[in-house]
Structure 1
Amino acid sequence: MYKQITIYDLLEILSKKLGPQNWWPAENTEDMLSGMILIQNTNWKNADRSLANLKQATNFETDRILALSTDEMEQLIQPSGFFHNKAIYLRSMLTAYRDNFDDWSKLSTPLLRKKLIAMKGVGNETADVLLLYYFHRPAFVADNYSMKLFTKLHTFTTKPTYIQLKTAVERDFKLESKQAEELHALIDEFGKLKSDYFDDYQLKLPYL
């Protein structure tokens, strides 16, 4: 018999176990937005090397980053891999930050998410991370760490898609944006531990 918990219990358990995370780890907004692109399909060690190069070359100033030639940008972010595509995505992200984000911040969350998804290099996960950490909307990030944890917690009988997991969690999501940020950070940090702590738990979601 599993010990049943809710998403709110999960947040409390992880908070007690790991302490406050205070994500997103970044020096400024440009650092944060760049990191959201550079972390795609790699690890933080490689992303941090690219971020260090960007900082040295531009001091994370938007106009200085956007003034880089394509070759210059690709060389700086090469450690994070897929540098040709990421240079395109990074330029798109910072251009939208400079020109559009203030106006987009006035949109409802569903409309805002559509705007973000339409950007180059922004898929479901990056869109939700942007909603959380830049726009401070209470979104759930159904990333690989979340998928593995909810599988371990016997929440689903079959593996859900990203949207299925996100939708199931958000149907009764009463967390404030800061709590949602902490939940995402705690799930990711817990996932790195490869712990069996939750083997005897089951997380129940409403409407499932």
Structure 2
Amino acid sequence: MKKNLHQLYLTLADYLGPQNWWPADSVTEMLCGMILVQNTNWNSAARSLENLRQVTAFDASVIRRLPNEQLEHLIRPSGFYHAKAKYLRNILTMYQDHFQELSRLQTPALRHELLKIPGIGAETADVLLLYLFDRSAFVADAYARKLFRKLTGQNFTYEQLKLKVELQSDFSPIEAQEFHALIDEYGKLKDDPLNLAERFRFEL
């Protein structure tokens, strides 16, 4: 299975090239993007990010001090702006005030602590593990579940697919980051141009 997953990774990498995710110029921008993209598309999140860039230059302390009404106005394009304003403050507080202590935790304990933060669900927690804490985690998002449904003929919940892939892979953190990005970028393409569903039939 490790061989199959690694071959899938190499096939996607050869076709799509290096992704170098997360698409951001700073940690604060990256964290804001992780919250703003929830329950919307990246174009909508990007409009909110641009608003934040213009007003705060992605200074985490400035964002945290913004009046709530102003913050909600800036992130309105990404939807759910009442909740996301709170979640933005939560994730930036975690980064500014607790990053060092969290970084010392083993990955399972770290994920457990991240999931306690309002606004951070399973998918966002795993994205944080990958891109903020540089841990080898698998993000079993909608693109991943759709791809592995094609490859295996099985339907997986988020946690089921995450656990199965992580147990049967040995990706480094950088490879895990690329694998997540490659799966998402491939999932945005029309149909299945590489015919992966025929080339990689396996069970998890």
Fold match by TM threshold 0.5:
yes
SS of structure 2 residue aligned to 1:40: coil
2:162 is equivalent to residue 166 of structure 1: yes
| Equivalent residue, structure 2, for 1:189 | 185
Identical amino acids, percent of aligned pairs:
52
In 1, the alpha carbon distance for the partners of 2:165 and 2:103 equals 23
Q: How far 1:102 moved relative to its partner?
A: 1.3
Higher relative contact order (CA 8 A, sep 6+): 1
What is the aligned counterpart of 2:130 among 112, 123, 132?
132
**Contact conserved, 1:150 with 1:203, CA < 8 A, in 2?**
no
| Equivalent residue, structure 1, for 2:140 | 142
In 1, the alpha carbon distance for the partners of 2:110 and 2:159 equals 16
In 1, the alpha carbon distance for the partners of 2:17 and 2:50 equals 27
2:81 is equivalent to residue 83 of structure 1: yes
**Aligned residue identity for 1:15:** A
**Aligned residue identity for 2:178:** E
Q: How far 1:200 moved relative to its partner?
A: 1.1
What is the aligned counterpart of 2:6 among 2, 5, 8?
8
1:83-131 superposed Cα distances (whole Å, 9 cap, x missing partner) = 0000010000001111001110010000000011111111110000000
**Contact conserved, 1:39 with 1:47, CA < 8 A, in 2?**
yes
RMSD: 1.1
**Contact conserved, 1:7 with 1:203, CA < 8 A, in 2?**
no
| Equivalent residue, structure 2, for 1:66 | 64
Structure 2 unmatched ranges of 5 or more: none
SS of structure 1 residue aligned to 2:200: strand
SS of structure 2 residue aligned to 1:93: helix
In 2, the alpha carbon distance for the partners of 1:120 and 1:156 equals 34
Q: How far 1:152 moved relative to its partner?
A: 1.1
Q: How far 1:175 moved relative to its partner?
A: 0.6
| Equivalent residue, structure 2, for 1:21 | 19
Q: Higher helix fraction: Structure 1 or Structure 2?
A: 2
Q: How far 1:29 moved relative to its partner?
A: 0.3
TM norm structure 2: 0.95
In 2, the alpha carbon distance for the partners of 1:141 and 1:104 equals 20
- The aligned length equals 200
1:152-204 superposed Cα distances (whole Å, 9 cap, x missing partner) = 11x253x1110000000011221100000000000000000023222313343
In 1, the alpha carbon distance for the partners of 2:100 and 2:118 equals 19
What is the aligned counterpart of 2:197 among 185, 196, 199?
199
**Contact conserved, 2:8 with 2:200, CA < 8 A, in 1?**
no
1:48-86 superposed Cα distances (whole Å, 9 cap, x missing partner) = 000000011110001100010110110000000000000
What is the aligned counterpart of 1:42 among 18, 40, 43?
40
